[in-house]
Amino acid sequence: MNNTFRTTLLLGALTGLLLAFGSVFGGRSGMVFAFGFAVIMNMGAYWYSDKIVLKLYKAQPVTEAQDPSLIRMVRELSTRAGLPMPRVYRIPNPSPNAFATGRNPENAVVAVTAGIRELLTDEELAGVIGHELAHIGHRDILISSIAATLAGAIMMLAYMARWAFFLGGRGDEDSNPVGALALAILAPIAAVIIQMAVSRSREYQADKTGAKIAGSPLPLASALEKLSAAAKGIPMEANPATSHMFIVKPFSGKSLLQLFSTHPPVEKRIEKLKSRS
């Protein structure tokens, strides 16, 4: 299934789950309140995502004088991708990784760790940069924010439903307290599963487009193999809320269930890339 189509279906499923939950608990008023609250919270995160995450990881801007080859590489690849030149930042961390952030291509950032500059060849690093530029071109920060908003609204409704049930409230006349309690348990789990599936779908899409930007899928496949192995030996103390932004999961621990993982298995990503060579 095409990854763009899959993302559309997943976002539609989140929307449908929100509407179904809202109709059972609190009627329209409860749904509107939860959705509005989630919009405010996540739009703030979306608008200031670059400043928040760069400060969190102590990232510093990179000038052409400091790292001319990196700046030249990002400039050439962004031109090839038809994107404005993003700002480039360096994270003083030995764990090799990279991410992109920014609310739109005109305000984008590509950040690389100190470790990735030491580990990868120029061709492999170009594959990684291409992947991050693909995220920028696909506006994946916006897509992730939409998914987070819908999932957040569902979780807020679940929280309201549990309190209403235990306090004996019934909400609006058209609400169903028993059904709301059941959904309050199941809906947040379903929302997280769908949100993680959106994240995994965008990684596959960025791999595909990033390989085209870099000119070949094989350097990116090689980079992913190296980065995945290095993350196990030199895990990063990353905030779980931002771990989905990195090209590979920044810590070595595995999810109990793949359904709750923000990243697809590296082996599958490498397999897909090699099949395109």
Structure-block tokens of residue 102? 């920014």
What residue has token string 């102590």? 58
173 a catalytic residue: no
SS3 96: coil
Rounded Cα distance between 11 and 32, Å, is 18
Region label for 104, one of left (φ > 0), alpha (ψ between -120 and 50) or beta (otherwise): beta
Phi and psi torsions of 219, nearest 5°:
-60, -35
Kindly report the number of other CB atoms within 10 A of residue 109's CB atom: 21
Phi and psi torsions of 155, nearest 5°:
-65, -35
Rounded Cα distance between 204 and 275, Å, is 13
Structure-block tokens of residue 237? 């103390």
Candidates 64, 132, 173, 267; catalytic one: 132
Catalytic residues: 132
